[in-house]
Structure 1
Amino acid sequence: MKAALLAAAAFVAQPILALAPERPVVPAPTPLGTGAPAGDPAAACAALKAQDFSTLPDAPSLVVNATVRPATAEQPALCLVNGRVAPTIGFRMWLPLAVWNGKFAQTGCGGRCGDILDDGCQIVVARGYACLAADMGHKGTFYDDLWAIDNVQGDIDFGFRSTHVAAIAGKALTEAFYGKRPRFSYYFGASTGGRQGLVAAQRFPEDYDGIIAGEPAMGAPGTIRPETGPALRASVAALNPGGKPIMTQAEVLMVHAAAVGACDMDDNARDGFISDPRACGFKPMQLLCEAGKTPDCLTAEQVAALDRVYANGAMPGSERGWIGAYIGPDGTPGRYLWRMKNPYKYPYAWIFHDATNPDLRAFKAQGGKLILYQGWADEATFPGNPAAYYETVERLMGGRAATQDFFRLFMIPGQSHIPQVGGGAETVDYLSYLEAWVERGEAPDVVRAEKMRTLARFAGPVTYAAYLTPENVAFSRPVYPYPVQARYSGKGDVNDAANWRSAIPNR
């Protein structure tokens, strides 16, 4: 009872926003009509290879091949295009043959990229989008940095150029195939893809009408070197001194249970998630062994390591995501140990500074809309950074109303960097909310977030339609634009978004 009263005292009592809506209805794509390729669509697809795109301003391009792919159970018939923007940016495009919705979408990459991550495009073409994905200018594995050695052009492409010039090429190909420019252009991506979205809004404000930037790989705004990598490497090093983990999976889960137990009621519901872990008073010292080591306490070395991890940016409640990432489930190091072992350090770190520029005046002036989202339990891209970025933008743009007119941040309790790990309601149809904002002026005052029982295929901000069924929803939550938070009303099913209200934290 005392914990609940303390949590309630941290909020303004009156709700200020409406209840969470039902999940947006995705409109069916319409037939092409006057935008259809003239004559035989297959011939129009093949003809793209013969067209000269080498004179595109800032984006001289080449179509390597263009082939028709028959319709499947998930996708319409497509013209599948592989191409390159000079000198080395590879891209792939999906052009629906008969159900184009008149819009262009571009999806981002992840990690260090080096390949074309196409799940996002394969999802949105079913909604009628022409869609493009690119490799960010080099070939490599998801995590290697070797491509960047003595490769200034590659660093520039990865840092900011590839997303911009791929947008130019994608819209030109769309126009060449359908005979008209897209009515609206959207970008969506998460992690590195989220960083790409922020850079696009900051550097190239005319590229997209709307941007979804999810869990961006960005550092701390306002610091001398605002990069995400050093803090993450330091966290991995703290839990793996000498390359060996100092905590077991069971001990990490014990810490997680203690953190959630201390702060779970901050949203008036004992639901296993912390709504704003920045206000959580949990300290690893509370688990220090008083005598000998036992399974339910920690050594002084472990406590010190945990203190460093939290100080680096990981939040209380994110601990389940550390398993596999920071430490292995079987006592081996986690998959991020490569960040410690790799002796090569990225030589042109200045490219990472761009994602923290708060000056979005040009993006707002041309009518752009930006949705930024972040999980509070993210173990890879630390959640304090997007929150600090949003607050910085508010100060520069002249306050909350002037900022939320075009830019809104949604912080998701319990969401880790990989869906299904953290356990939060991490599935949101961000694209439908963005379309409503851009095309009809309907700002997202609240979004409906859902936890899916099964989510085997996902691509950051978009989800395969097969998983978006009422039967697959384990629970739902409303999520309000930051800094507003959701609180359980105290009545009705805690797993139903309809029984939650909004409140402003007193921070």
Structure 2
Amino acid sequence: MPAVADTGTSCEDLVGTAISADDIGLPTSGAEVTTARVASPNTAGAYCLVEGRIAPVSADAPDIRFRVNLPLDWNGKAVHFGGGGYNGTVVTGTGSVPSAPAGTPTPLQQGYATFGSDSGHSSAEHPGGSFALIEESLVNFAYAALKKTRDVAVSLMETHYDHTPGQTYFVGSSQGGREGLMVAQRFPTDYDGVFSRVPVVNFTGQQLFVNALAEPILDGGWIDAAGIALLDATTRTTCDGLDGLVDGIISRPQDCDVDFEALLCEAGETAGCLTQEQIDVVEQFHAPLVLEYALANGVAGYPGFPVGGEANDWPFWVMGANGAPGFTVNLGADFIRYFIAQDPDFDTVGFDPNAPEWRERILEVSELLDATDPDLSAFHASGGKLILQENLGDNGRSAFAGLDYHASVTEALNKGRTDKFFRAYAVPKADHSGGAGPNDVDWLALLDRWVTDGRAPRDVVLQERGTDRTRPACEWPTWSRYFRGDPDQATSFKCMKAPGFKG
């Protein structure tokens, strides 16, 4: 589509613009623009920065605060940016797409209209997961704010440009990755393409899993930096060479059997080993959580985590400071406290998700939050395309959860049909933020090409940040094995079929 001039309402005149509740696809009390101004030019030119609020239905719920960026030289397309963590801050939409190589122009610099929101609460006013005590805020966080923000943003594009976008994409990582899968499932005709990186797809299962780590960590299982380094060295020694090359990258963690009991301290040992309590935590981290009942969409629990990446990720995500659990475990505690028990003073240590008194609430929350519905037939029928990136060195949430979701879609729709619109890639070594190995590629360009030209991505080349090392991102469930040549070049690897894979 050629560039579209702003033939409608000028930027400054957007201030005070009201969007009727009837023009928003889910219940609100309408929306309004509070500020609109031409922002300082970026490398692609100036844009109209629009901010506003979407009013709630319930008097006790906060507004959804949003931002929309309307480039003066519009390419006729739009990108919705997802959030992170428990959200609570307005997504600016001015940054890069997750995993974009350094120097790649941002979507806004490329002429995309971009937008995002705070998902319906302020983290300053509702810290942690406390917003979940307000029912409308919880539903907004789960999925509703996505639809409301999208409808308002598209309405403003039509007002400003006298034109709606030809293509609308969603991009997000972690929480934003979950949101990307959610819009494909719940609002299948609203988006032409979705890029979802490391999504917290099984949100409820994830939080139940990590919260369960708190008790054994606090009960003697906390591991210091030396112990984490020992774990990292052990997994690399055991698993690194399974892809034909010892290079610090574990390509097949699912095929690696690490004997953690071999690290047990003998009598009198205090260094270079782990206590039984510490080993128990490690083994629990890698073992699945199996519930006595199914969560939404028949999901039975949560998979364990892949081995690898301990030195990079564990000091923050799993083990905190001075014997306390890390960040992801604390997120799980907030989830139990606010989403499930609905009690800010609830003691989350030792919480039993199988206890009968909690099941109804857990299932209710799971139905709202979990982006695990495998029936993407409506998204496919509308022409939607979906790219999933899972990072195998991510210890903030398990890559196996997203890969399990891909498998569930394949089972529901069959492989031939799924391959027409859904591609998944498992990236070795890369961590939750995408560093620690070859990770970067311009997924938005590949997604846009797939949508507009019908050219589907296959095995693409990943770039490591700050180096010249590249590695193929193999279409799951194939994986990269070293063949011959320069070990730092993707051309030296082949994407291999996993044992038993008949695709």
Superposition TM-score tier, normalisation by shorter sequence: 0.7 to 0.9
Partner deviation per Cα, 1:440-465 (whole Å, 9 max, x = no partner): 11111112211102xxxxxxxxxxxx
Q: Match for 2:54 among 73, 79, 85?
A: 85
Q: Is the 8 A contact 1:476 1:496 kept in 2?
A: yes
Match of 2:477 in 1: 483
Question: What pairs with 1:299-318 in structure 2 (closer than 5 Å)?
Answer: 299-312=275-288, 313-318=304-309
Match 1:504 to one of 482, 494, 497: 497
Partner of 2:59: none
The C-alpha deviation readout for 1:178-208, integer Å capped at 9, x for no partner, is 1211111100001110111111111110010
The TM-score, its normalising length taken from structure 2, stands at 0.82
Tell me the equivalent position of 1:115: 89
- The offset of 1:245, in angstroms, is 6.2
Matched, 1:377 2:371: no
Query: 1:102-137 CA distances to partner (integer Å, 9 max, x unpaired)?
Result: 101100001110111325556320111100011111
Corresponding position of 2:450: 437
Q: More relative contact order in 1 or in 2 (CA 8 Å, sep 6+)? A: 1
Counterpart residue type for residue 405 of structure 2: Y
| Counterpart position of 1:414 | 429
CA distance, structure 2, for counterparts of residue 47 and residue 117 of structure 1: 23
The one-letter code sitting in structure 2 at the alignment partner of 1:56 is: D
Alignment of 1:327-346 (within 5 A): 327-328=319-320, 333-336=325-328, 338-339=330-331, 342=334, 344-346=337-339
User: Post-superposition shift, 1:170?
Assistant: 1.2
Opposite residue 504 of structure 1, the aligned amino acid is K
Q: In 2, distance between residues paired with 1:138 and 1:351?
A: 20
Aligned-partner SS, 1:125: coil
Q: Which amino acid aligns with 1:292?
A: G
Query: Post-superposition shift, 1:283?
Result: 2.4
User: 1:236, 1:336 within 8 Å by CA — same for their partners in 2?
Assistant: no
In structure 1, distance between residues paired with 2:333 and 2:193: 39
SS in structure 2 at match of 1:426: coil
Corresponding residue for 2:247? 271
Partners of 1:353 and 1:174 in 2: CA distance: 29
Q: Distance in 2 between matches of 1:126 and 1:287?
A: 51
The percentage of aligned residue pairs carrying the same residue is 31
Report the residue type matching 1:157 in the other structure: N
Post-superposition offset of 1:351: 4.4
Moved more, 341-350 or 258-267: 341-350
Amino acid at match of 2:445: S
Which one of 122, 125, 132 corresponds to residue 148 of structure 1? 132
- Where does residue 231 of structure 1 map in the other structure? 209
1:245 and 1:333 in contact (8 A); partners too = no
1:341 positional shift: 5.8
Are the equivalent residues in 1 in contact too, given 2:217–2:324 (CA < 8 A)?
A: no
Any idea what SS the aligned residue of 1:228 has? Answer: helix
Q: Distance in 2 between matches of 1:449 and 1:236?
A: 36
Aligned residue identity for 1:482: W
Question: 2-side partners of 1:238 and 1:443: how far apart?
Answer: 46
Measured in 1, the distance between the counterparts of 2:259 and 2:75 equals: 52
Displacement of 1:297 after TM fit?
Answer: 1.7
Residue 329 of structure 1 deviates from its aligned partner by 6.4
Is residue 388 of structure 1 aligned with residue 404 of structure 2?
Answer: yes
Q: How does 1:3-14 map to 2 (within 5 A)?
A: none
Quote the offset at 1:247 in angstroms. 1.3
Residues 163 and 199 from structure 1, CA distance in 2 versus in 1: closer, same or farther, beyond 3 angstroms? same
1:338–1:381 Cα change, 3 Å:
closer
Letter in 2 for 1:483: P
Q: Measured at CA, do residues 200 and 495 of structure 1 come closer, stay the same or move farther in structure 2, by a change above 3 Å? A: same
Contact 2:392–2:431 at 8 Å: present in 1 too? yes
Contact kept, 8 Å, 1:412 with 1:426, in 2: the verdict is yes
Q: How many residues in Structure 1 have an aligned counterpart in Structure 2? A: 440
Q: Quick one: which of 156, 173, 184 aligns to 1:190?
A: 173
CA contact (8 A) 2:93 2:116 kept: no
Q: CA deviation at 1:345?
A: 3.3
Shift of the alpha carbon at 1:344?
Answer: 2.1
CA distance in 1, matches of 2:438, 2:209: 26
1:452 has 2:471 as partner: no
Superposition pairs of residues 30-179 of structure 1, within 5 angstroms: 32=3, 35-38=4-7, 44-54=10-20, 55-58=22-25, 60-72=30-42, 74=43, 76-87=45-56, 88-97=63-72, 99-118=73-92, 121=95, 123-141=106-124, 144-149=128-133, 151-179=134-162
Name the CA shift for 1:238/1:427 in 2 (closer, same or farther; >3 Å). farther
User: Structure 1 length as normaliser, TM-score?
Assistant: 0.82
| 1:37 CA displacement | 1.7
> Equivalents in 1 of 2:65, 2:314: separation in Å?
33
AA aligned opposite 1:105: V
Q: Cα distance, 1:267 vs. partner?
A: 1.4
For residue 153 of structure 1, give the secondary structure of its aligned residue in structure 2. Answer: helix
Q: Does 1:425 align with 2:438?
A: yes
Match of 2:498, SS state, is coil
Could you tell me how far apart the structure 1 residues matched to 2:94 and 2:371 are? 22
Unaligned runs of 5+ in 2: 57-62, 97-105, 289-303, 341-363
Q: Kindly state the Cα deviation for residue 76 of structure 1 after the two structures are TM-superposed.
A: 2.4
For residues 159-183 of structure 1, the C-alpha deviation after alignment (integer angstroms, 9 at most, x for no partner) is 1111112111111111211121111
Amino acid at match of 2:25: D
Are residues 506 and 231 of structure 1, via their aligned partners in 2, closer, same or farther at CA, if it must alter by over 3 Å? same
3-state DSSP class of the match of 1:127? Answer: coil
